[in-house]
Structure 1
C-alpha cells in the first residue's frame, strides 16, 4: 500500500511537471505540416510491455531518426516506462478529456518542431478495449494536425482469458470463472470496429499475437518493422512483464486483501525478487482452463476470429487467425500436486530470505559488548556499572 501511495505522489508530481511544460508551450502553435502518429492500442496481454520496453531502450536511437516517443505523462519529457496506459486510465470519463488531449497533442507537435521530428509514438494497450477511447483520441490528434495510424495485436481467446486472470483477476476475484464472467469480453471485432470508424480501414493495422508470426518470435521486432523503424542497431531488452507461475497465482489469490486493485503489482514484484525465476511460467501450458472448457471457449470465439481475419488480416488466406490448440497447452494437475508445488515455492521464498538475512548479518559489524563501552579502570577507582 505504501508503494501505491508513493506511485500516486509520483504521478501527481509528474502531472504537475507536465502541466508546467504544457503552459510553457501553450502560447505557441505547431507549424502546419504533416506529422505521423503511430498509436499502439494493444490489445492487453499481447506483448505491450515488451513493446514499451523496446521503445524506452531505443529512445535516443529513435530521436536521432526523427521520432518522438511520448512520455508516460503524454508530454515530451522522454521518460517512458509503462507507456500512456496510466494516463488514459486516470483520465476516465472527464467531460473535458478531448480538449485536454488536443492541448497535449499540440504541445507534443510543438516539441516535434523543436526537435525536427516527423513521427510521434504512443503506446497504451488499454485503449483497444476502453469504450469511447477511439472517439476521444483520434479527433484530438487530428485537431492538433496529426495523421493517425492505429496498430493492434489480438490474441487467441483462451490464452487471453488465462493471461488476463493471472494479471488482474487473481487480485480481485475468488476464482477465474467469477473474473471471466465480470470481465465480459465479447471479442476483438467490436473493439476494432470502433477504431476503424475513426481512422478508416487503411489506417488500422491488426496482427495476431503469435510467435510463429513474428521475426525471431519477437513482437518488438515485428512492431518496429511494421512501423518502418527496425534496424540491426535497435536494442532488444529482456522480456517484460512475464506471466506469473500458476502455483504462485493460486497463492496470491488467497491474499487478495494485500492488493489495492487489479493493477497493483507490488506484492508480486516483491515475491518475484525473493523466489527468483521460479515465480514465472516456464512454458505455455496452463491448468486454469481444462481441455473441454478451452474447446468451448474457442468454439465461442470462432465467428469473431473469422470476421477479424477476413476484414483485417486477409493476407493469411486459408490459414486460421490463430494456431490450433495443442495438447501440451492443457496441463493436468491434481489438488495434491498443486499443494506440493505451492509448498515448494514457499520453501524457496523462506530459504532466499534466510540467505539474505545471513548476508546482512555477515556484512554488519558485530555490536560491541556494553563492557567495552565502560571507562577503563584506573588504579584505586572502580568502573561505574550500568543500571540494571
Structure 2
C-alpha cells in the first residue's frame, strides 16, 4: 500500500487539499484512496470530517505511543483490499520532530512525503493575517520575529525528514508557483504526485482568502475582535458578506519583502537546486519594486474600511442576506 504524507506547509494550500479529500472521500474510496480523519480513522471505515491535526498534537506528546498508533491504523487500512493509497494530510506534520513518528515505516509501506511551501515573504504575510494580527502584532514586529527564528525553516524540515525517517527520494518539496505545479494548479499537482485519479471530482471554493489591507489594519489595531489566534468568527462572517473587491492577495511592503527574501536567499537556492533545478531562481524568488507603494494615505484606507462596514449595515437594513 502506498502511504502519502501531506505534511503541509501551513498557509500553503493545506486547507484546499484537505477540503478536497474530505468532500470527495466516497468517490476517492471507489478509486482506491482512503483518507485519515480527526481521530486517525480512515475513510474506508468511517465518514471523516476533519484532518488529524489535533489528534497528532495530542498524541505526539508521547512519540512512541503515537508512532505505534499510526502504524496500527495504517496496518488496518492495508488489510482492506479496496485501499491502494492511504493519505494522511496534516500540516502539523511539518514540524521537524514529527518525522520521528514515521521512522522505519518506509520499510513496510511505499511512503511518499509531499511538502508544499510558499516563498517566505508570502508565507510570513499569510501567517500574520491568520494568527498574529489577532494578537495586535504589527507586520514589522512579526517579520522581525520570523527572521530571528528562521521561520519558516523549510530546509530544516527537509533535513529532519530525510535524515531520520524516510529515504531521500521519498520526499518532495513543491513551491506554490505555476512553474513548479503540474498544470499550474495545486490540486492537479497533488493528485499527480500522490498517484490519485482526480478527474471529475469536486473542488473546493475560496478558502482563507486575503483581505483588503485597509481591513488588515483594522484587525491589527482592534485585537479585541478575536478571542484567540484560532478564532475565525470575524473572518468567516466577512468572507460570506463582503463584496468581491474586499478580497485581495495581500503582500508586505517591498522593503520588508526584500529583507525577508535576502535573509533566506542561500537556503532557497539550495532548495531550488534540489527540487526545482529547471526553474530560474528569480522566477521563484525574485522581487520587483512596485510602481508606487506610497500613493494611498492612512485616511484613504480608513475611509475604505468604513465603507465596508456601511456596506454590511445597509445590506442588513435592506433585509438582504448576501452570504455565499
Common topology (TM > 0.5): yes
Asked whether the equivalents of residues 196 and 204 of structure 1 are also in contact (C-alpha less than 8 Å), the reply is: yes
Partner Cα distance (1:215, 1:202) in 2? 19
Asked whether the equivalents of residues 116 and 175 of structure 2 are also in contact (C-alpha less than 8 Å), the reply is: yes
Asked whether the equivalents of residues 36 and 88 of structure 2 are also in contact (C-alpha less than 8 Å), the reply is: yes
**Correspondence for 1:56 among 22, 26, 34:** 22
Change in CA separation of 1:234 and 1:263 when aligned onto 2, cut-off 3 Å: same
Partner Cα distance (1:173, 1:73) in 2? 33
Q: After TM superposition, list the pairs within 5 Å mapping 1:6-45 onto structure 2.
A: 35-45=1-11
What whole-Å deviation, never above 9, does each CA across 1:92-131 have from its counterpart, x for those lacking one? Answer: x52x243134224313431442353121101112322x24
Change in CA separation of 1:134 and 1:169 when aligned onto 2, cut-off 3 Å: same
**Correspondence for 2:34 among 44, 68, 85:** 68
- SS of aligned partner of 1:237: coil
What is the CA distance between 1:204 and its match in structure 2?
Answer: 0.4
**Correspondence for 1:353 among 313, 316, 324:** 316
Change in CA separation of 1:330 and 1:244 when aligned onto 2, cut-off 3 Å: farther
Report what 1:134 is aligned to: 99
What whole-Å deviation, never above 9, does each CA across 1:28-79 have from its counterpart, x for those lacking one? Answer: xxxxxxx221000111211111111221232122211221111122112554
What is the CA distance between 1:295 and its match in structure 2?
Answer: 1.6
Q: After TM superposition, list the pairs within 5 Å mapping 1:1-388 onto structure 2.
A: 35-77=1-43, 78-91=46-59, 94=61, 96-128=62-94, 130-135=95-100, 137-139=101-103, 141=105, 145-183=108-146, 184=149, 185=151, 187-197=153-163, 198-281=165-248, 284=249, 286=251, 289-316=252-279, 318-320=280-282, 322-328=284-290, 331-332=293-294, 333-356=296-319
Change in CA separation of 1:258 and 1:79 when aligned onto 2, cut-off 3 Å: farther
Asked whether the equivalents of residues 285 and 330 of structure 1 are also in contact (C-alpha less than 8 Å), the reply is: no
Asked whether the equivalents of residues 167 and 243 of structure 1 are also in contact (C-alpha less than 8 Å), the reply is: no
Change in CA separation of 1:269 and 1:231 when aligned onto 2, cut-off 3 Å: closer
Asked whether the equivalents of residues 39 and 123 of structure 1 are also in contact (C-alpha less than 8 Å), the reply is: yes
Aligned length: 314
Asked whether the equivalents of residues 241 and 312 of structure 2 are also in contact (C-alpha less than 8 Å), the reply is: yes
Partner Cα distance (1:85, 1:36) in 2? 21
- SS of aligned partner of 1:42: coil
What is the CA distance between 1:328 and its match in structure 2?
Answer: 4.8
- SS of aligned partner of 2:79: helix
Change in CA separation of 1:90 and 1:246 when aligned onto 2, cut-off 3 Å: farther
Q: TM-score, normalised by structure 1?
A: 0.73
Over the aligned positions, Cα root-mean-square deviation in angstroms equals 2.6
- SS of aligned partner of 2:114: strand
Q: TM-score, normalised by structure 2?
A: 0.86
Work out which structure has the larger RCO, using CA pairs closer than 8 Å and 6 or more positions apart in sequence: 2
Change in CA separation of 1:107 and 1:127 when aligned onto 2, cut-off 3 Å: closer
Partner Cα distance (1:274, 1:112) in 2? 45
Max Rg structure: 1
